Structure 1
Amino acid sequence: MDVSKKLTSLQEISKAQLSKILSANPNTKYLILEPEIIRPLEKVCGVKWLKGNGVEKIFKLDSTAPTFSATAVYYMIYANTKVFTKVVDQIRSQVDIENPVRNKFHIIVVPQILHYFEQLLEELGLLHSAITLHRFQWMPLHLDTNVLTLEIPNLFNNLFVCQNLTYLPVLSRILWQIGFVVGKPTFILTLGNYSNSLLKQYDMMCEDNGETDKFDSDFGGLVIIDRTMDYASSLLTPGTYSALLNEVYNVNVGVCENTEESDQQYDSKCNPVTKKKIINFPLDSVQDSVYADIKNRYFTEVTTVLSNLTKQLKSEKLSSEDMALDEIKRYVQTQLQVTKTRKKNITNHLNAAESIIQKLGHRYENQREVEGNIIKNSNKSRNFSYLEEILVTENDPYTSLRLLCLISITQTLSDSEIQSFRRKYLQQFGYKNGYTFHNLVTCGFISEPAQSTSKLPTKILKFPKFNSKNFYTNAKNIKQIINEPEKVNLKYPTCASYVFGGLYIPLIVQIAGMILSATPLDDIKLKLEPLGPLTLRNDRGFPLQSRSLLIYVIGGVTYAEIAACNLLETITGAKICILSDKIISGNDLMRSVLKFPS
């Protein structure tokens, strides 16, 4: 079976695991879902499948629970202490503690049962007697061609900000399970603290629980990399259509949706609010041929393509007016529905493109100029002035913080510059965000103050602190920075840097390129070791026996990186599959560091 078909069929394994949990009570049952879990669950199974497995009714988790009567009840939630406590309170209100009904209430926790959950139920006397806990992690969800995500929320915040290692075994278990489907690659490269820890846990899991007996792997190599190894690829403003969609609409589980326009005309600082068009479509090349054509195009080309497609539709309409009766009948039977669907898709993408222009157009050129200066290591004073300017003009807590991080990991900022920005940022967005700058230090975005008087807890891990010398030395050594970006062809790209307007090539693309071109391992080691902890494992698998790679990014991957990998596939004829906990944008990282630890 082709590896792409294997990846799309992973949901069958998830269904089998979920079916086993639901069969713990063979009677008809109610299923109550945390709202955030509904969309990823739709990728695993549909309502019809759930009803076939005994689910009579499905509810959203609300402040008040429905009347359960004698029906079995299953809750499905993410591993969140507040949500779990809410669910337990709902169950307690309907349970006779002295004489509980066994096997009635079940809580399915995704992806991992926390120790606190069991401890709380033990203290309340509900564990096993009234409530049964189940751990469930679906297999990677197939969002688009060779794009897989685990849809684990807040993993970057938990792992890199709070340094909570709870989810690390989940990530290694997923890798172990995938091995039984696609085999174990004989060449493995890991880069980063957590990536190396994940590989060690994976080895232990193989040793304790056994591993696949597949002789040949569907992937010639496996690359596991921490998000911290290439922050720039998530902080730079992308130029491709799919990446800009995620910037403006916050794509959720591969679906771009905005159901209603806001009536708000001005924000809290009296700035005009840009309204986004109402749209709803999946970012799936198979379902949407229009998206397949434009998803990886540089945005300036997208409107031209959509304009041409609109003209084609108009010509089709004119030609249909001159059809004979038999031709009209055949057209209605074979082409009309396809044309309607195509018209709907084109309309969606035109509306989305218009929203992107309205949302980002007013600052896109200035932003790109400043980011170009940053990557070329020039005009530091101009870059910092622009940073302070958008802090005031853009009433958005993510935009200025994101640019601060980009400048800090490249050109570096002095303590006085960071403190000046910190003071202005807190004045602009509130002192409730004071903890944010400690989080930025923890993640390695900014350097720790020279004389810190902070009484905050010491960090568990010290991530590499990027400074200007290291960033530019490493990026030039790996050939990520383009000397003449203006010569990069954005219309018909041959260089992966086009995803950032010709400025910068994502690290995962350069690593994949080195592996696929059979660069000597000593050279790969020499180039990558300065970035962070590196492991190269070659069980006679290098040069690759098959020109295919599985790239596993811990902490989120961006649509720009995916587009760059797609271009590398086209150029080299290789197959690259991207797996991550979530598809993110730079704003998602900023959202993570703005969260107060819970």
Structure 2
Amino acid sequence: MDLNRKLSSLQEISKAQLSKILSIVTATKYVVLEPSIIRPLERVCGVKWLKSNGVEKIFKLEPTCPSFENSSVFYMIFSNLAKFRQVVDQIHSQISQDNPPKNKYHIIVVPRYLNYFQDELEELGLYSVIKLHSFQWFPLHLDTGILSLELPNIYKSLFLQLDYTFLPLLSRALWNLFFVIGKPRFIVALGEYSNKILSQVDILIEDKGDCDKLDSDIGGIVLIDRNFDYPSALLTPGTYAALLNEVYGVTCGICEYKEESVDEKKEDRLHPVIKKQPVNFMLDSNQDLVYADIKNRYFTEVTSVLSTLTKQLKTEKVQSKEMALDEIKSYVQNKLQATKSRKKCITNHLLAAETIINVLGSRYETQQEVESDIIKNTNKSTNFSYAEEGLCVEDDACVTLRLFCLLCVTQKLSESEVKSFWRKFVHQFGFSCSFAHRYLINAGFIPEPIVASSSLNLQSKIRLPKFISNEFYSNANRFKQIPPNPEKINLKFPTCASYVFGGIYIPLITQIASMILNATPIDEIKSKLGGLGLMTIRNDMGFPLQRRSLLIFMVGGVTYAEIAACNLLETLTGAKIVILSDKIINGNNLMKEILS
């Protein structure tokens, strides 16, 4: 079985785990789903499968619940205390304290329930009434070479709140995956959380066993923390899939927007709320050949490809009118359904492309020019002024905060500039955002404010950002991430991964993968990676790679732009790269976590 088929079959293991939980109740049962869990659950199993496992009805979790009569009910929620309390309150309101039912109420918590969930049940006297179950699905195979755990709030938990609660779940996910694809002999871990994950995998192997596969389907693995390359998430991308995620927001590989679900209108200043076209399609190359062709193209090429495909459809329609009877019969039997499907795909992508132009067109070119200057370390005062102007003209707080964070990572703002921007930001978007200042410090965007102290060792008490200006450019130059002549990058037929950002920047994971796949001397790899920060390299006679394939695990979310850059590297080197992360994100997602 080839690697892609193995990754596609991961859902079968998840089904078996879920079936074991549901089989606790042999009679028919109801299932109540938290709305945000529906999409990823569809990647694990469908309604038909649930019905075959004794589920009679499926409900969406709402403030008021229907009557479940005498049937058992399984709630399924993410590991969130507020949602858990909502479910417990619903159950509490339905039971009789004198004669509570047994084996009727179950709560399945994804990826696992926390200890204080049990404490809550004990305090309410429901410990014997409500049964808790943990369910951690295997990585979801969203598209060729893309695996996602689709777990919310991992970035916020680890990088903003400095909370390690969910870190063991990432370790277990990797350990589980090794049983399917084997454990590679060459492993690189970059960053605090990546190294902790690697250590926890070692503990799991020691306590619960290692996979019995002698040869891995993957030549090597790279674990890397999100904060090692913030620019790849903060820069405005140029590829089609990445822009879809920017404009529409993609959930679990599905781009869906309904016309009736109008966004809440904010107070308009200079930019009116732009209407989005309704779309509904999966970002899956195997099911949508049109998407497979355009997903990694630079957006200026996407519209011309869609235009060509539309002309082909029109030509086919004209030709069908001139067919003889036998030809019409053959056309209907063999080609009509495929033509209808292709027409639907093209229509969806045309509507999406039109929306991308309408939403981003007004500021896209100006934004790219400013970002180019930022990456090239020029016009710092102009760039900062542009960010401050955005506070007055942009309705979305994420847009201006994102540019501010990019400036902090690269061109290092002074303490007075940080204070000036933040004061204006809070005045513009409300003092409810003021707590986000602490998250910016924890994430490493800005330094801890210096407070007068009698301590001689003041420096040890100051939290410095992960990347200050000099360090960022030093690392970027070491890994050749900034092309000297962006205008010479071919965006139509790219040969440089920087095309995903219009030729101004190459994602770090692409450059690291390139070094490993091209068998750069191991001492040179260690020397370059050592300058980034905490690093571990394990080489059990696995380098140069015995298989030209690599698994990249990005802790804290990965972007479609980074995936596109790795796809280009695959094409150029003939290698295989699989991307794994807790979620597919964009820069606005990170900003929302900071402001939430």
Bucket of the pairwise TM-score, normalised by the shorter protein:
over 0.9
Deviation at 1:266, TM superposition (A): 6.5
The 8 Å contact of residues 261 and 277 in structure 1, kept in 2 or not, is answered as no
Establish whether residue 221 from structure 1 lines up as the match of residue 227 from structure 2.
no
Which residue of the partner structure matches residue 259 of structure 1?
258
2:456 equivalent in structure 1: none
1:15 equivalent in structure 2: 15
CA distance in structure 2 between the aligned counterparts of 1:294 and 1:544, rounded to whole angstroms: 31
What corresponds to 1:190 in structure 2?
A: 189
Partner of 1:30: 30
8 Å Cα contact 2:237-2:500 kept in structure 1: yes
Corresponding position of 1:456: none
Structure 1: distance between partners of 2:537 and 2:513: 14
- Deviation track 1:209-268 (CA, whole Å, cap 9, x = no partner) reads 001010000000011110011001000000000000000001111011111167789731
Q: 1:208 to 1:262 in 2, by over 3 A?
A: closer
User: Could you say which residue in structure 2 is the equivalent of 1:496?
Assistant: 497
Q: Is the 8 A contact 2:29 2:54 kept in 1?
A: yes
CA distance in 1, matches of 2:265, 2:72: 48
Report the equivalent of 1:231.
230
Summarize the alignment of residues 476-495 of structure 1 with structure 2, pairs less than 5 Å apart: 476-495=477-496
Paired residue for 1:242? 241
For 1:439 and 1:204, the matched residues in 2 are separated by 31
Question: Does residue 304 in structure 1 map to residue 313 in structure 2?
Answer: no
Post-superposition offset of 1:36:
0.5
2:443 is matched with which residue? 443
SS in 2 for 1:362: coil
Matches within 5 A, 1:278-357: 278-357=278-357
Once the two structures are superposed, residues 522-559 of structure 1 have per-residue CA deviations (whole angstroms, 9 ceiling, x without a partner) of 11111111212100000110000000001111100000
| Matching of residues 417-456 of structure 1 within 5 Å | 417-451=417-451
Residues 279 and 348 of structure 1 are in contact (CA less than 8 Å); yes or no, is this contact kept in structure 2? yes
Quote the residue 2:80 is aligned against: 80
TM-score computed with the length of structure 2 as normaliser: 0.97
Q: Does the aligned pair in 2 maintain the 1:443–1:463 contact within 8 Å?
A: no
After TM superposition, what 4+ stretches of structure 1 lie above 4 angstroms from structure 2? 261-266, 459-464
What SS does the corresponding residue of 2:550 show, helix, strand or coil? strand
Which residue number corresponds to residue 150 of structure 1? Answer: 149
Name the CA distance, whole Å, in 2 between partners of 1:264 and 1:473.
42
Name 1:46's counterpart in structure 2: 46
Task: Give, in angstroms, the shift of residue 449 of structure 1.
Answer: 2.1
Pairwise CA distance, 1:472: 0.3
CA contact (8 A) 1:34 1:61 kept: yes
Is the 2:447–2:463 contact (alpha carbons within 8 Å) kept by the matching residues of 1? no
Residues of 2 paired with 1:177 and 1:465: CA distance?
31
Q: CA deviation at 1:102?
A: 1.5
Query: Structure 1 residue 464: deviation in Å?
Result: 4.9
SS in 2 for 1:57: strand
Asked if the contact 1:265/1:272 (under 8 Å) is kept, the reply is no
Check 1:431–1:494 CA distance in 2 against 1; reply closer, same or farther (3 A cut).
same
Q: Secondary structure at the match of 2:579?
A: strand
Distance 1:107 1:221 in 2: 38
The corresponding residue for 1:506 is 507
Return the offset for 1:561. 0.2
Instruction: Find the counterpart in structure 1 of residue 475 from structure 2.
Output: 474
Cα distance in 2 for partners of 1:212, 1:234 equals 34
TM-superposition CA deviations, 1:35-85 (whole Å, max 9, x none): 100111000000010011110100001111211111111000001111100
| Structure 2: runs of 5 or more not aligned | 454-459
In 1, distance between residues paired with 2:48 and 2:321?
Answer: 41
Deviation readout 1:101-157 (Å, 9 max, x if unpaired): 221110000012111101101112211x10110000111111110101001011111
Q: Establish whether residue 391 from structure 1 lines up as the match of residue 391 from structure 2.
A: yes
Checking the alignment, whether the CA contact within 8 Å between 1:464 and 1:532 is kept in structure 2 is no
Letter in 1 for 2:102: R
Q: How large is the Cα RMSD of the aligned pairs?
A: 1.6
Structure 1 length normalisation: TM-score? 0.97
Are residues 1:92 and 2:103 paired?
A: no
Deviations 1:402-444 (A, max 9, x none): 0000011100101111111111111111010001111101100
Match of 1:141 in 2: 140
**AA at the equivalent of 1:140:** P
Distance in structure 2 (CA, Å) of the matches to 1:4 and 1:86: 40
Residue in 1 aligned with 2:566? 565
1:131-184, Cα deviation, whole Å (9 max, x unpaired): 110000111111110101001011111111111111101000011111110000
Match of 1:55 in 2: 55
- Indicate the residue corresponding to 1:581 in structure 2: 582
Partner SS for 1:108: strand
| Cα deviation 1:262-295 (Å, max 9, x = unaligned) | 7789731344111111111110101110000000
Contact 2:375 2:504 in 1 (8 A): yes
Structure 2 distance, partners of 1:345, 1:569, is 26
Q: Report the residue type matching 1:60 in the other structure.
A: K
Contact 1:441/1:447 (<8 A) preserved: yes
Contact between 1:442 and 1:463, CA under 8 Å: does it hold in 2? no
CA contact (8 A) 1:265 1:273 kept: no
> How much identity, in percent, do the aligned residues show?
63
Deviates more, 1:226-235 or 1:390-399: 390-399
Q: Which amino acid in 2 is paired with 1:327?
A: E
1:347 and 1:481 mapped to 2: Cα distance? 37
Query: 2-side partners of 1:167 and 1:526: how far apart?
Result: 31
Instruction: After superposition, give the CA deviation of every residue in 1:174-202 in whole Å (9 maximum; x if it has no partner).
Output: 11111110000000000000000000000
Distance 1:124 1:240 in 2: 52
Q: Distance in 1 between the 2:531 and 2:519 partners?
A: 20
SS in structure 2 of the partner of residue 165 of structure 1: coil
Aligned-partner residue type, residue 506 of structure 1: P
Specify the code of the residue in structure 2 equivalent to 1:522.
D
Instruction: Report how far residue 98 of structure 1 moved.
Output: 3.5
What is the alpha-carbon distance in structure 2 between the residues aligned to residue 254 and residue 115 of structure 1? 32
Q: CA deviation at 1:445?
A: 1.2
C-alpha distance in structure 1 between counterparts of 2:582 and 2:262, whole Å: 34
The answer (yes or no) to whether the contact 1:163–1:460 under 8 Å persists in 2 is no
Q: Secondary structure at the match of 2:547?
A: coil
Does the residue aligned with 2:76 lie in a helix, a strand or coil? strand
Determine the C-alpha separation between the residues in 2 that align with 1:315 and 1:298: 26
User: Is contact 1:261-1:275 (8 Å) kept?
Assistant: no
| Cα separation, 2, equivalents of 1:399 and 1:515 | 35
Aligned-pair CA distance for 1:25: 1.1
Change beyond 3 A, Cα 1:441–1:509: same
In 1: Cα distance, 2:448 partner to 2:556 partner: 22
Q: How many residue pairs are counted as aligned between the two chains?
A: 589
SS of the residue 1:571 aligns to: helix
Q: Map residues 202-213 of structure 1 onto 2, 5 A cutoff.
A: 202-213=201-212
- Conservation of the 8 A alpha-carbon contact between 2:238 and 2:501: yes
Q: Does 1:201 pair with 2:200? A: yes
The answer (yes or no) to whether the contact 1:550–1:576 under 8 Å persists in 2 is yes
Gaps in structure 1 of 5+ consecutive residues: 454-458
Partners of 1:391 and 1:324 in 2: CA distance: 64
The answer to which of 514-523 and 578-587 deviates more is 514-523
Query: Partners in 1 of 2:388 and 2:56 — Cα distance?
Result: 56
The match for 2:161 is 162
Instruction: Report SS of the residue matched to 1:268.
Output: coil
Contact conserved, 2:448 with 2:464, CA < 8 A, in 1? no
* Distance (whole Å) between structure 1 residues aligned to residue 265 and residue 509 of structure 2: 40
Q: In 2, Cα distance between the equivalents of 1:429 and 1:584?
A: 23
